[in-house]
Amino acid sequence: MANTILVGAQWGDEGKGKIIDVLTETADIVVRTQGGNNAGHTVFLGAQKYVLHLVPSGILRPGKRCVIGNGVVVDPVSLVEEIEGLRKLGVKVDGNLFISESAHLVFPYHRALDEQRELRKGRNKIGTTKRGIGPAYGDKAARAGLRMIDLVQPDRFATLLRQRIQENNELLRAWGAPPLSYARVQAAYRAAGDALQGFVSNTVVMLNEAIRRGENLLFEGAQGTFLDIDHGTYPFVTLSNTTAGGACTGSGVPPNRIDRVVGVMKAYTTRVGEGPLPTENAEVADMLHALGREFGATTGRPRRCGWFDAVATRHATMVNGIDKLAVTNIDGLDSVETIKVCVAYRAGGRQYEYVPTDAPTLAACRPVYAEFPGWRCATGQARSWAALPTKTRQYLKAIAELSGARLGLASVGPSREQTIFR
Ligand code: IMP
């Protein structure tokens, strides 16, 4: 096997949770390396639905170890809730979940600031998940963050938290928002620290030792390429590096220990939150929402939807070095008569074959479409490449080729069995 980075090749919500669950079968350790509980990875095991926010999806496979790496921002109170929820469902977490001692913490003042910044932006808001992710990464970059290693040392933590609450309360007051009670936050975080103590360790050393022993690592990307702080549609992005490079910095595993990159993409495009989405299309959105599809796993918001954007996925292949593609939600297009695929953009008399850096330019881009005949039958029962309708195979081959990578996996439904290896 190999050390594999899995990334979202679009705007997040590509169905990574399920693909990670499938690939975990051949991995020893599954590692989250960026983002926080803004992520929502949905996995179905039989009739049971699991939505994971911080814990890697690998936790659902007995015998696998899971790591929350140094690049993740952790809301410890919500992590404890997630762990307890998993325990209640009979999922083993003790002894197989490890949290980096250098992962930064998310606090209630981060959530309050996230909300205030969005309010103040008005029409220009980002549409964040309001989980405090941006302000938490902001504090990390400003060297004003607290980390897991602080949380599990109660005296040190109490002193540092008091300072941070004082400073952030000044900011909240200035913005007309209610200040936070130190005592209340301290009590909640103290309890979470006690509950998490046994999970916290030096995961950088742990992961590199595992690699030396020949174990296989799977890096579980959260969000997607175009939400990357550097490579996304800035400022309509999240605050972490969601692209493949983020897996290395977010885990302490060097790039020359990575063997392959898998890119996950939907057979169409979706996005939650604001920002440009060149192929956005109301009819596609209505069709998918009427099927009960495309509502956010974290916030329940209806996702914006559109046709497959091959300019974007080609760009994603380039910045991530995607070797293999996993295409999900193919069954979402089962009823469509003519499927469109964006092959280039046009704006200001210019044709673009790549994603322009400037968000207003991207917002002005109009898609140039190629058309494919729909297969117009249910694909959810297909269990092999040969069992897929010819038109489905042609469509999948075309979008893989346009995206510049090999098709490795096709998913025709939420369950593990509805996965076709090519
Ligand atoms: P934040 O990460 O909450 O700061 O939100 C920034 C942007 O990223 C917003 O457009 C969110 O909707 C989007 N976003 C964050 N996490 C996810 C995710 O897991 N899936 C899809 N979009 C996300």
Estimate the share of the chain in helix, then strand, then coil, as percent rounded to the nearest 5.
40, 20, 40
Ligand 1 contact, 39 CB (< 6 A): yes
Tens digit of pLDDT for each residue in 317-358? Answer: 999 999 999 999 999 999 999 999 999 999 999 999 999 999
The DSSP string of 246-307 is HHHHTTT--GGG--EEEEEEESSEEE-SSS--TTB-HHHHHHHHHTT--B-TTT-PBPEEE-
21, 28, 41, 331: which is the annotated catalytic residue? 41
The residues near 71 (Cβ < 8 Å, ≥ 6 apart) are 33, 34, 103, 240, 241, 246, 249, 250, 251
Q: What is the pLDDT of residue 271?
A: 96
Q: What is the pLDDT of residue 165?
A: 98
**Is the peptide bond preceding residue 356 cis, with omega within 30 degrees of 0?**
no
Buried b (16+ CB within 10 A) or exposed e, 314-337: bbbbebbbbbbbbbbbbbbbbebe
The DSSP string of 231-247 is TSSTTSS-SS--STHHH
Q: Measured on CA atoms in the order 280, 284, 286, 289, is the torsion positive or negative?
A: negative
Q: Please say whether the beta carbons of 106 and 148 come within 8 A.
A: no
In angstroms, the CA 306 to CA 288 distance is 10
In angstroms, the CA 108 to CA 248 distance is 28
> Is 13 tagged catalytic?
yes
Q: What is the pLDDT of residue 44?
A: 84
Q: How many whole angstroms from 272 Cα to the centroid of ligand 1?
A: 7
Residue whose CA lies nearest to ligand 1 atom number 1: 128
Q: What is the pLDDT of residue 274?
A: 94
Pocket test for ligand 1, best of 227, 236, 240, 299 (most atoms within 8 A of CB): 227
Residue whose C-alpha is closest to residue 413's, from 380, 372, 377: 380
Q: Please say whether the beta carbons of 18 and 229 come within 8 A.
A: no
Residue whose C-alpha is closest to residue 242's, from 254, 230, 258: 230
Residue whose CA lies nearest to ligand 1 atom number 9: 128
Q: What is the pLDDT of residue 301?
A: 86
Half-sphere exposure of 149 (CA within 13 A, CB side): 10
Block mean pLDDT (10 aa), the chain, length 422:
93 93 94 95 85 92 96 98 94 96 98 97 94 98 98 98 98 96 98 98 98 97 97 97 98 98 98 96 97 87 96 98 98 97 96 94 97 98 97 98 98 94 92
Tens digit of pLDDT for each residue in 398-412? Answer: 999 999 999 999 999
Residue whose CA lies nearest to ligand 1 atom number 11: 128
Q: Please say whether the beta carbons of 81 and 106 come within 8 A.
A: no
Q: What is the pLDDT of residue 1?
A: 57
* Residue tagged 């590509």 (tokens): 14
